[in-house]
Amino acid sequence: MSTPRLEISLSKIRHNVQILKGLYGSKGIELIGVTKAMCGNIEIAQLFVDNGIGILADSRISNIIQMRDAKIKAQYLLIRTPFLSQVYETVKYADISLNTEIKILEELSKAALEFATIHKVILMLELGDQREGILPKEIDNVVKEVLNLRGLNLIGIGTNLFCFGKKKPTENIMNSLSKIASRIEKKFKIKLKLISGGNSANYNWFSTTKSTGRINNLRIGESIYLGRETVYNMPIPRLFTDAFILYAEIIESTGKSSNKNRAILGIGHNDISISGITPIANIDLIGASSDHLIINTKQMKLLVGNEVSFHLNYNALSSAMTSPFITKTTLA
């Protein structure tokens, strides 16, 4: 088998989806499967759908097209707010998008009318992370505008925390999202179907909160793939943290160079985000160049052709999935 190689255990991912779906579902929270780190991988998308995940979320139109072309029967959510230059593609390929900009919403409306379709919209609120979002004091104006735009259907509101600003999803912040949802519904006499409270960083809030309030949806990627919450990077009980294993190959064996514990692997910065990989065996990473990874093998004697295995963080996983130089092998 060729290297570098990423082995993907579908049964471990399936297990994680089922456990998380049951856990969050026990308090009325449905999951959107975030596929952006999988680069449109068909088997994983199909696995989500087979396990009752009805909405797949991706940040790239090209990934959505790949899943659609493979006839994966889901609703597709564009999870990065649409580009002005891509409103037609957004309406054509995504059923739903997250939005923060009136100008984009106006153009989505035009595109929807042209395609004679209805595009669903979730408005994102900025509640402290300082990435995307409408400020709470401005949300009413935006809701009002969206309700007047033909071709658009406002199906919910949401927020995203702990991505840029490292603002944790707290009880207080989740309660304010619930309150904003109820207030909007009352003021505009509408029903918001989705109140989407966040991502894999919401696990601790969920586990400790007395009431999830109006929050009925989370958009989950990392916890499914790597079995962890993302605030403290702790494993979530009963989940697999090793559904993905990376293999690289020794191209210069231990003891060849002047330093007797040193060996070289055939993988480098051009292949993957090296800073996010951790050897499973007791060896140290010394450094990498574009095509080489130098390791200290300590007690171990590694020969040319031997394989060394690694765990990956989310960045490394995402870069491995998008890398043309890393073979992906799915195991049942």
Ligand X SMILES: *Cc1c(COP(=O)(O)O)cnc(C)c1O
- Distance between CA 244 and CA 317 in Å, rounded? 8
Listed ranges 16-24, 60-68, 213-221, 261-269: which one lies at the site for ligand X (CB under 6 A): 213-221
By the rule CB under 6 A, 79 interacts with ligand X:
yes
Listed ranges 133-141, 181-189, 214-222, 272-280: which one lies at the site for ligand X (CB under 6 A): 214-222
Closest CA to 112 of 139, 94, 134: 94
Tell me whether residue 200 or residue 297 sits nearer to ligand X (CB atom).
Answer: 200
Closest CA to 286 of 302, 299, 297: 297
| Residue 172 host element (H or E) | helix 171-188
Tell me whether residue 221 or residue 227 sits nearer to ligand X (CB atom).
Answer: 221
Supply the minimum distance, in Å, between the C-beta of residue 300 and ligand X: 34
Tell me whether residue 77 or residue 308 sits nearer to ligand X (CB atom).
Answer: 77
Applying the rule CB under 6 A, the residues between 229 and 248 that interact with ligand X are: 230
By the rule CB under 6 A, 219 interacts with ligand X:
yes
Q: Which residues contact 278 (CB under 8 A, 6 or more apart)?
A: 310, 311, 312, 313
Contact 310, 282 (CB under 8 A): no
Applying the rule CB under 6 A, the residues between 12 and 41 that interact with ligand X are: 34, 36
The number of residues making up the chain comes to 332
By the rule CB under 6 A, 107 interacts with ligand X:
no
> What CA–CA distances, in Å, run from 127 to 43, 188, 327?
35, 22, 40
Tell me whether residue 134 or residue 248 sits nearer to ligand X (CB atom).
Answer: 134
By the rule CB under 6 A, 58 interacts with ligand X:
no
DSSP string, 56-113: EEES-HHHHHHHHHTT--SEEEE-SPPPGGGHHHHHHH-SEEEE--HHHHHHHHHHHH
By the rule CB under 6 A, 199 interacts with ligand X:
yes
> What CA–CA distances, in Å, run from 329 to 6, 113, 247?
6, 43, 11
By the rule CB under 6 A, 200 interacts with ligand X:
yes
- Distance between CA 295 and CA 220 in Å, rounded? 34
Listed ranges 61-69, 216-224, 236-244, 324-332: which one lies at the site for ligand X (CB under 6 A): 216-224
Applying the rule CB under 6 A, the residues between 152 and 171 that interact with ligand X are: 160
Task: Tell me the torsion sign for CA atoms 115, 69, 41, 220.
Answer: positive
Residue facing ligand X at closest CB distance: 221
Residues with active-site annotation: 36
By the rule CB under 6 A, 220 interacts with ligand X:
yes
Listed ranges 61-69, 100-108, 217-225, 319-327: which one lies at the site for ligand X (CB under 6 A): 217-225
Supply the minimum distance, in Å, between the C-beta of residue 219 and ligand X: 4
How many residues touch ligand X under the rule CB under 6 A: the total is 12
| Angle formed at CA 225 by CA 96 and CA 211, multiple of 5 degrees | 65
Residues making contact with ligand X (CB under 6 A): 34, 36, 79, 160, 199-200, 219-223, 230
